[in-house]
Amino acid sequence: MQDTTNLNDQFAAPSGFSPAEMLACLKCGKPNAPTRVNCLYCAAELENLSTGGEAGRLDLTPPEPHENGFSVIILPGASGEARSAAAVLGRSVDEVRKIVAAGVPFPVARVRNAEIAVSLVAHLSNFGFSCATLADPELDVKTPPRRIRGIEFMTDRLRMFDFNTTAVFEATVDDLRLLVAGRHAVSRSTTSENLKRGKADSKKPEESKDQRDEKMLDIYVTGDDRGYRIKTSGFDFSCLGDAKTMFASENVELLAETIKELRAGIVLDSGYNDVRDLLDPVWEPDFHREAQGLHRSGLGRLSRQASDVFDNLNQFTKYSRMRNHLL
Domain presence at residue 259: yes
Contact partners, residue 198, CB within 8 Å, separation at least 6 = none
pLDDT tens profile 242-293: 999 999 999 999 999 999 999 999 999 999 999 999 999 999 999 988 877 6
The domain boundary residue, chosen from 115, 139, 163: 139
Average pLDDT score over residue span 68-91:
92
With 0.85 as the threshold, say if the pTM is over it: no
Tell me: do 126 and 236 sit in the same domain: no
- Compute the C-alpha angle 205/208/209, nearest 5°: 140
* Distance in angstroms (rounded) separating the CA atoms of residues 272 and 239: 25
Tell me: do 94 and 113 sit in the same domain: yes
Look at the alpha carbons of 35, 36, 41, 45 in this order and tell me if their dihedral is positive or negative.
Answer: positive
pLDDT tens profile 203-236: 677 788 999 999 999 999 999 999 999 999 999 9
The domain boundary residue, chosen from 100, 120, 139: 139
First vs last C-alpha separation in the chain: 48
Tell me: do 123 and 154 sit in the same domain: no
Domain presence at residue 3: no
Residue type, 18: S
Tell me: do 225 and 116 sit in the same domain: no
Contact partners, residue 224, CB within 8 Å, separation at least 6 = 171
Q: How many domains does the chain have?
A: 2
Residue-range definition of the domain harbouring residue 204: 146-325
Q: Give 16 or 36, the one with higher predicted confidence.
A: 36
> Is 199 exposed, middle or buried, given 0-12, 13-18 or 19+ CB atoms closer than 10 A?
exposed
The domain boundary residue, chosen from 139, 162, 196: 139
Tell me: do 155 and 110 sit in the same domain: no
Q: Give the pLDDT score at 305.
A: 82
Domain presence at residue 1: no
Q: Give the pLDDT score at 322.
A: 98
Q: For 208, phi and psi rounded to 5 degrees?
A: -130, 150
Tell me: do 94 and 211 sit in the same domain: no
